Amino acid sequence: MNIDIEWAIELINGSKSQKDLHDIENKYLSRENGLITLEMKNLGKLSPDEKKERGKELNELKKTIADAIAKQAEIIENLEIEEKINNEKIDVTAPANYESYNCSSGSIHPITKTINELKEIANEEGFAIFDGYDVENSEFNFSMLNTHKLHPARQTQDTIYIDKNTICDSIKNSDHFETSDDEESDFLLRTHTSAQQIRIAKKITEKLRDRGVSPFEYEFKYATFGRTYRNESDGTHSPMFHQMEMVCVSDTLFVQDLIDIMMVILSKFFQISRDELKIRLRPSYFPFTVPSWEIDVFLPSKGEYVEILGCGMVHPKVLENMGLDSSIYRGYALGAGIERLCMLKYGIKDLRPFFGCDLNWLKYQAK
């Protein structure tokens, strides 16, 4: 099949809306039925020399089309903004039109949309989904995750603590906030979804034990999503933000398993094929994983590597706190900020409008 690149560029340049561009992008670049994708699938039928030449040609076509779509998308976006500026007029003296508010259709918030996408991917990969508590105690938020009592993250300039006297007894004395005999635990707004690691793992191991599963046969993986809190605020940080956490535990896990699942999740989320996805591992430090890495992914839209998530093999002490024998079991964990993933995927440059009340911005970003 010969792809008429001149005709494709003419279609792109003639597009008047983002929907038209999206349809053209699907026609040529869709992962399932895109014309170039279908041609890529046929490369295996060619001789090595023909495969090399045709592959190079298809990659050039793909880049040309993608660049043209990105350029036209920016033009259309600027025209839409200019049209809104010229046409939108607000009469601040007019009474509120409540009927128009009640009749207008709603839209999915960009954060909710991103969480739903990630949950769907996690389900596809066999991860059980769990919810967590916003209010935690320092034992599960820090100590059980191998974070020393003198670690800077525990200080009040980073962590938002809650006065125990403001929490009702029924909550304060519930099983959720039960602490060990040797630790006086403070209440706080959880600083990461990792606070759920021990709680979820213990629930799973208890159920496996009740079912009569041998301790030498435990194997599970789960994901949790939710709000987290830290004492920071600027264009890329908020006191309240969202995180995701994915954990897998088995007796036969290796670093390669962690890399494989990251490649699957990132390729599905950013809609980049596994063959084209490029990631970079940088050694890092987290108290609850060893070894640990920061992961960068190369985004064609930016033309550079960007930091995307943190990960590592679950620390033996954390495995022991889960109730597992660290000499038998090993695990991997990865976590990421939902807002960051959303901003990178949809080209959003400032974090603060996520939590504002600009309906026009929210509706536009939710498309």
Alpha-carbon dihedral 132, 233, 337, 340, rounded to 10 degrees: 150
**Mean pLDDT value of segment 12-23:** 87
* pLDDT at 176 exceeding the cut of 70: no
Supply the pLDDT for residue 57: 87
Supply the pLDDT for residue 348: 85
CATH architecture of 111-355: 2-Layer Sandwich (3.30)
| Tokens encoding 196 | 């759920």
**Mean pLDDT value of segment 215-221:** 81
Q: What is the mean pLDDT of the chain?
A: 85
Give the pLDDT confidence of 82-130 residue by residue, as tens digits: 888 787 777 777 776 656 555 556 678 899 999 999 999 999 999 999 9
**CB-based contacts of 339, cutoff 8 Å, min separation 6:** 111, 238, 241, 242, 351, 354
**Domain range annotation of the chain:** 5-89, 111-355
Q: How far is CA 268 from CA 119, 122, 311, 336, in A?
A: 12, 10, 18, 15
What's the angle, vertex CA 298, arms to CA 287 and CA 44, rounded to 5? 120
**How far out from the chain centre does Cα 270 lie?**
10
Query: Distance between CA atoms of 256 and 60, rounded to whole angstroms?
Result: 31
Higher pLDDT, 295 or 353: 295
| Tokens encoding 138 | 């320092």
Residue 187, SS3 per DSSP:
strand
**Whose structure tokens read 């403001």?**
166
Q: How far is CA 283 from CA 125, 266, 296, in A?
A: 26, 19, 11
Q: Nearest CA to 230 among 163, 154, 289?
A: 154
* Residues found in the chain: 367
Helix axis angle, 5-13 to 48-87, nearest 10°: 10
Strand pairing of 289-299 and 279-286? antiparallel
Supply the pLDDT for residue 96: 66
Exposed / middle / buried, residue 353 (Cβ in 10 Å: 0-12, 13-18, 19+):
middle
**Mean pLDDT value of segment 339-365:** 82
Q: How far is CA 314 from CA 233, 254, 286, 356, in A?
A: 30, 11, 10, 37
